[in-house]
Amino acid sequence: MPDELSEDTIAAISTPPGEGGVGIVRLSGKNAIEIVAGMFASSRGKDICKGRQRVFHGHIRDSRGRSLDEVLVHVMRAPHSYTTEDVVEINGHGGMAPLRAILDEALARGARLARPGEFTRRAFVNGRLDLSRAEAVMDLVHAQTRAALNAANAAASGALSRALREMTDTLADALARIEAAVDFPEEDLPELVDAALLDGLRRTHARMAELVQTADAGILYREGISLAIVGKPNVGKSSLFNALLRDARAIVSDLPGTTRDRLEETITLEGVPARLVDTAGVRNAENEVEAIGVERARNAAQQAGLILFVVDVSRPCSPEDVALAEELAKIRTPVVLVRNKMDLVEGADAGFPNGTLPLQCVAACSISATTGAGMRELERRLAALLLGDDAPPADAPMLFRVHQKDSMRRAAASLERLLENAAASPELLAVDLREALAALGEITGETTPENILDRIFASFCIGK
Ligand code: GDP
């Protein structure tokens, strides 16, 4: 952030818009306390600029002395605040209108409206958080499931950033020793790449490889996945949707082709947020309304992370099922075969043996969407497919973003090169180490270019 920008005192409503009743206007910057002092009347006649008291009760008044809201004012002096600057939080309890009036008053007195993520960006620029923690703060706001929340909490409190710091320290240490050898080649330095140093680098490499390996789980916890339920009409797609959702949002009917709209809901599979998309029967539509539904179903299937292909085992496999399977085989998305209506047939092998369809499935489950039989197993299989067998617990240090995984992969590759050529010249070893450090720096934000930081912080909410 250019220097003149951090000279400003910024202000924003930090609580989400809505009828919450309680809300916070937050200011940060060198004039924050003074600006609020000018608009605040303490009920005990106290001056918030003086003394060590941190919480004050009173009223915010406009320039004509009218009360805008009864508030608690929380003063946090630099550097003991989120941004490390002077921060004042005004806790109002009158809903959005008074909060806006308080914000307007602060702006009229010289504060500037904060850009999205600007408080967190100041915390980052002032060294209070590294980029991985700043991004985790944003994830905390958006976490949809308990597991995602635990993961974001762990990262926000610094588990990942500590792991990154340790790796960076090990590499920087090694680089310093190797550079010494480059600078003073004639001097009698101890053996350059000794066993202890190599050992440390090997451990760091293993740690990096592990973070790359578990990143997909982290990304999944954060972003979730979209599951499309596909099948010809009347096989039980809506019933499955409902069974997964355990409520009755999708309309269940006996008439083929009545689920015309795409319905979407988010469920949790072992902590992974999954957007469940119920599609109309993908088949040759006879009328226009349905044609649109069919089109959307195809799109949903194409965009999904996983397709649940539902068949009705109480009926023989029809040309429609086969045509659909052929259609799905053209899409690269993995397919789980869901053999529904098991309650209507005897024996688990009845109907649709796995080889009947011209389609490779990653898993097959037998269920009854109406009795609930097999649903647990289906959910368990889905979660295992998504997370893999050895998914880390959500609160382990984990990478959560595609860009983090990419940087870590490059860091690991550079280090691997170094370990393979440990006998090479110090110059070459230093090149690998510098590359690895630069890649790590992209995750902590140390080497992230300004324009990328702009983009990252712009995706935050205002007031964060
Ligand atoms: P969709 O057109 O694929 O969405 O199918 P629906 O979910 O609307 O179900 C069609 C019909 O099959 C309804 O009458 C459901 O009650 C029935 N059905 C769905 N799943 C099952 C099941 O597991 N067992 C039985 N016996 N009936 C089911």
The rounded Cα 220 to chain-centroid distance in angstroms is 8
Q: Which atom of ligand 1 is nearest to the CA of 367?
A: 23
Q: Is 242 in the pocket of ligand 1 (CB under 6 A)?
A: no
- Alpha carbon distances (Å) from 57 to 23, 42, 46, 54: 15, 6, 9, 10
Q: Which residues of 100-109 are buried (b: 16+ CB within 10 A; e: fewer)?
A: ebbbebbeeb
Ligand 1 binding pocket includes 120 (Cβ within 6 Å):
no
- Single-letter amino acid, residue 28: S
Detail the DSSP E strand segments found in 287-420: 306-312, 335-340, 363-366
Does 415 sit in the ligand 1 pocket, CB within 6 Å? no
Q: How far is CA 362 from CA 329, 334, 384, in A?
A: 12, 6, 11
Query: Which strand (E) or helix (H) includes residue 332?
Result: none
Q: Please choose from 234, 237, 346 the residue to mutate so as to test ligand 1's pocket, defined by most ligand atoms within 8 A of CB.
A: 234
**Pairing assessment for the beta strands 67-76 and 23-28 based on DSSP bridges:** unpaired
Length of the chain in residues, anyone? 464
Summarised one tens digit per residue, pLDDT across range 147-171 is 677 777 788 888 889 999 999 999 9
pLDDT of residue 349: 54
What tokens appear for 271 in the block?
């902590």
Give the whole-angstrom CA distance, residue 122 versus residue 82.
9
Ligand 1 centroid to residue 253 C-alpha, Å? 8
Distance 113 CA to ligand 1 centre (A): 54
Residue type, 323: A
Cα–Cα distance between 130 and 122 in angstroms, integer? 11
DSSP state of 310: E
User: What is the β-pairing status of strands 10-13 and 112-113?
Assistant: parallel
pTM, entire model: 0.68
Weakly modelled stretches of the chain, pLDDT under 50: 1-4, 247-254, 259-260, 281
236 CA from centroid of ligand 1 (Å):
4
Beta strands 272-278 and 225-230: pairing type? parallel
Angle of the 450-458 helix axis to the 131-142 helix axis, nearest 10: 20
CA atoms within 13 A on the CB side of 256: 12
Say yes or no: CB of residue 259 within 6 Å of ligand 1. yes
Query: Which residue has the least CA distance to atom 25 on ligand 1?
Result: 341
Give pLDDT, residue 272.
76
Measure 445 CA to ligand 1 centroid, in angstroms. 52
The tokens describing 2, both together, are 């250019």
What domains can be seen in the chain, in order of their start residue? Answer: 3-128 (3.30.1360.120), 140-209+404-445 (1.20.120.430), 224-369 (3.40.50.300)
Residue minimizing CA distance to atom 20 of ligand 1? 236
Question: Per DSSP, what are the bridge partners of residue 12?
Answer: 26
Pair of tokens at residue 407: 């940087």
Tell me, using a 6 A CB cutoff, whether residue 314 lines ligand 1: no
Residue having the nearest C-alpha atom to atom 10 of ligand 1? 234
What pLDDT, in 10s, does the model give residues 209-262? 999 998 988 888 787 888 899 888 889 988 998 888 874 344 444 455 554 455
- pLDDT for 279: 72
The best mutation among 253, 313, 370, 375 to test binding of ligand 1, ranked by most ligand atoms within 8 Å of the C-beta, falls on: 370
Q: What is the pLDDT of residues 48-68, one digit of tens each?
A: 998 787 899 999 999 888 999
Determine the distance separating the centroid of ligand 1 and the alpha carbon of 260, expressed in angstroms: 15
Taking the C-alpha atoms of residue 60 and residue 77, their distance in angstroms, rounded to an integer, is: 20
d(CA 261, CA 265): 13
Beta carbons of 435 and 414 less than 8 angstroms apart: yes
